């Protein structure tokens, strides 16, 4: 068989293409593994954003230091001296912590832990649901617990029980709501998971009502995180700011209950704080007096946590919270943040509605396993080579007709 010049040229060209493509395979394999950092491209390419420098110490690290932390500017008021073992004042809108004392010190929270209980259970139980309480649901309430007066065989709305939790700090109401939420242990586990999701890593939940229990702790930081999260829920705000309510009794009667947060109600020798929103107070013999409080002034909301004042009696927790709120409203704009309530919050996973703002450098992986766009892989090149060979065969078939077996 004789092949003409044109045919020989075509065959030679196809063969050279095939050989060239095969020759690229080792180079592609080598280029697929990146052992160093991603190269830096021009301004038109995405780059990983470097964290902003924060001076001598990153602000959030200050919250892990012992003692009082504040970063005053010129003209800032002096931080008050308080007797609380731990305290914190933060901007509830931005999450910036204006000042703190032993913010991450782990201490018993008492009933301020009911803020986390509410954040966990409020979204699950519609307020209008009716429930008849059983005897079993009221078992296990700790001796000396505060109660609102929940009675077995009586039917309550879920909203009634929440009034009992927020106003009377009723551990009996917590027991019933926890039962509706799946049980005592299940509720504790869900509260723990909620705390982690909010970035509250100091909290250990063993008793959802806040009753003293071995190993149960929280911190001024974590409780401020819970309080701030509650301010984003209208139902939480409605309950925590309510001063009085009627609670169902037997025989179709009802009786009045009053919020035990004296900074909200202005009672028992404590003046009501101007602009107070409320939130939650607590007391146990192990925790002492505890309080998470929020107040609003001129469109600006501050949040304070005060844990276990060492002197001043039962009203000290309210008066020290008042002092912190006064200081915070005056100091706002005159101090730099010492941290953020968002610092430890779990970041949402990327998805259709949430895309990362920056593109991190890809990890080094073998080229044979990397099938990403824009990066040739050996099997792709081999396929191209085979396609080139097929082109040669097709050309010969069209030029000389079908091949007949010998």
Q: Considering only residues 110 and 5, tell me which one the structure prediction assigns the higher pLDDT.
A: 110
pLDDT band, very low/low/confident/very high, at 60 (cuts 50, 70, 90) = low
Residues 98 and 8 reside in one and the same domain = no
Same domain, 397 and 264: no
> Based on C-alpha coordinates, what's the Rg of the chain?
33
Q: List, for residues 115-146, the tens digit of each pLDDT value.
A: 999 999 999 999 999 999 999 999 999 999 99
* CA terminus-to-terminus distance, the chain: 14
Contact present, 292 and 308 (Cβ < 8 Å): no
| Overall number of domains in the chain | 2
CA angle centred on 60, ends 69 and 278, rounded to 5°: 70
Domain contains 367:
no
| CB burial of residue 126 (10 Å; 0-12, 13-18, 19+) | exposed
| 347 included as an active-site residue | no
Of the candidates 86, 111, 145, 179, the residue annotated as catalytic is 111
Asked if the model's pLDDT at residue 395 lies above 90, the reply is no
Structure tokens at 16: 């050279």
Separation of alpha carbons 204 and 108, rounded Å: 10
Indicate which residue of 146, 168, 169, 340 is catalytic. 169
pLDDT reported for residue 32 = 36
Q: Which of the two residues, 16 and 331, has the higher pLDDT score?
A: 331
Task: Collect all residues with Cβ–Cβ distance below 8 Å to 156 and sequence separation of at least 6.
Answer: 130, 131, 133, 150, 176, 248
> Is the domain of 71 the same as that of 146?
yes
Query: What is residue 348's predicted lDDT score, i.e. its pLDDT?
Result: 61
Q: In terms of domains, do 170 and 105 share one? A: yes
Give me the domain span that covers residue 21: 1-30+380-406
Locus of tokens 């060979």: 389
Measure the CA–CA gap between 87 and 309, rounded to whole angstroms: 9
121 and 13, same structural domain?
Answer: no
* Per-residue pLDDT, 349: 53
Residue 355 lies in a domain: no
- Is 117 found in the same domain as 20? no
Residues 23 and 89 in one domain: no
Least Cα distance to 183 among 208, 162, 164 occurs for 208
| pLDDT per position as a tens digit, 193-230 | 999 999 999 999 999 999 999 999 999 999 999 999 99
Are 161 and 305 within one domain? yes
Q: Which of 97, 115, 92 is nearest to 282 (CA)?
A: 115
CB atoms under 10 Å from CB of 102, counted, come to: 23
Confidence of residue 344 (pLDDT cuts 50, 70, 90): confident
CATH value at residue 152: 3.40.710.10
Which of 3-17, 88-102, 203-217, 301-315 is predicted with the least confidence, judged by mean pLDDT? 3-17
Does 322 map to a domain? yes
The tally of CA atoms less than 13 A away on the side-chain side of residue 208 is: 31
**Helices and strands: H and E segment counts in the chain:** 11, 12
310 φ, ψ (degrees, to nearest 5) = -95, -10
pLDDT at 321 over 50: yes
Q: Is the dihedral of CA 195, 196, 198, 204 positive or negative?
A: positive
pLDDT of 345? 82
Q: Which residue has the higher pLDDT, 10 or 152?
A: 152
Position 108 in a domain? yes
**Dist. CA 39–CA 278, nearest whole Å:** 53
Same domain, 156 and 83: yes
Q: What distance in Å separates the CA atoms of residue 378 and residue 367, rounded to the nearest whole number?
A: 8
DSSP 318-350: HHHHHHHHHHHHHHTTTEE-SEETTTTPPPPPP
Q: Fill in the DSSP letter of residue 8.
A: H
User: Could you give the percent of the chain with pLDDT greater than 70?
Assistant: 70
pLDDT at 212: 98
Q: What pLDDT was estimated at residue 61?
A: 81
Domain boundary pick from 287, 312, 340: 340
- Within 13 Å of residue 244, how many CA atoms lie on the same side as its CB? 6
119 and 229 Cβ atoms separated by less than 8 Å: yes
Is there a single domain that holds both residue 154 and residue 208? yes
- Give the per-residue pLDDT at 347: 66
Is residue 169 among the annotated active site residues? yes
What pLDDT, on the 0 to 100 scale, is given for residue 13?
A: 40
pLDDT in tens, 298-315: 999 999 999 999 999 999
Residue 244 domain-assigned? yes
Q: Tokens standing for 315?
A: 């009203």
């Amino acid at each position: 068989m004789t092949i003409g010049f044109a045919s020989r040229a075509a065959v030679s060209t196809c063969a050279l293409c095939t050989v060239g493509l095969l020759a690229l395979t080792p180079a592609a394999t080598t280029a697929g593994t990146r052992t160093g950092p991603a190269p830096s491209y021009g301004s038109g390419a995405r780059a990983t954003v470097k964290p902003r420098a924060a001076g001598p110490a990153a602000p959030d690290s200050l919250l892990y230091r012992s003692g009082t932390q504040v970063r005053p500017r010129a003209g800032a008021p002096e931080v008050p001296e308080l007797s609380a073992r731990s305290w914190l004042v933060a901007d509830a809108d931005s999450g910036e912590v204006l000042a703190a004392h032993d913010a991450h010190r782990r201490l018993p929270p008492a009933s301020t832990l009911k803020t986390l209980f509410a954040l966990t259970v409020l979204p699950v139980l519609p307020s209008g649901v009716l429930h008849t309480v059983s005897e079993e649901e009221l078992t296990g309430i700790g001796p000396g617990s505060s109660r609102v007066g929940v009675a077995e065989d009586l039917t309550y709305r879920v909203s009634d029980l929440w009034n009992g939790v927020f106003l009377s700090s009723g551990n009996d109401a917590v027991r019933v709501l926890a039962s509706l939420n799946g049980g005592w242990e299940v509720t504790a586990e869900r509260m723990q998971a909620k705390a982690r999701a909010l970035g509250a890593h100091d909290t250990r939940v063993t008793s959802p009502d806040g009753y003293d229990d071995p190993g149960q702790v929280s911190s001024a930081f974590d409780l401020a995180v819970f309080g701030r999260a509650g301010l984003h829920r209208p139902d939480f705000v409605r309950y925590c700011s309510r001063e009085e309510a009627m609670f169902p009794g037997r025989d179709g009667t009802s009786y009045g209950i009053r919020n035990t947060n004296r900074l909200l109600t202005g009672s028992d020798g404590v003046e009501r704080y101007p602009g107070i929103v409320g939130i939650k107070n607590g007391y146990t013999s192990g925790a002492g007096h505890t309080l998470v409080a929020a107040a609003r002034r001129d469109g600006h909301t501050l949040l304070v946590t005060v844990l276990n004042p060492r002197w001043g009696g039962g009203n000290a927790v309210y008066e020290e919270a008042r002092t912190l709120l006064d200081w915070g409203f005056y100091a706002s704009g005159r101090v730099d943040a010492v941290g953020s309530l968002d610092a430890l919050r779990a970041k949402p996973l990327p998805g259709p509605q949430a895309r990362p703002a920056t593109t991190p450098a890809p990890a080094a992986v073998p080229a044979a396993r990397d099938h990403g766009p824009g990066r040739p892989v050996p099997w792709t090149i081999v396929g191209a080579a085979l396609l080139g060979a097929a082109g040669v065969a097709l050309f010969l078939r069209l030029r000389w007709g079908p091949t007949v077996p010998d």
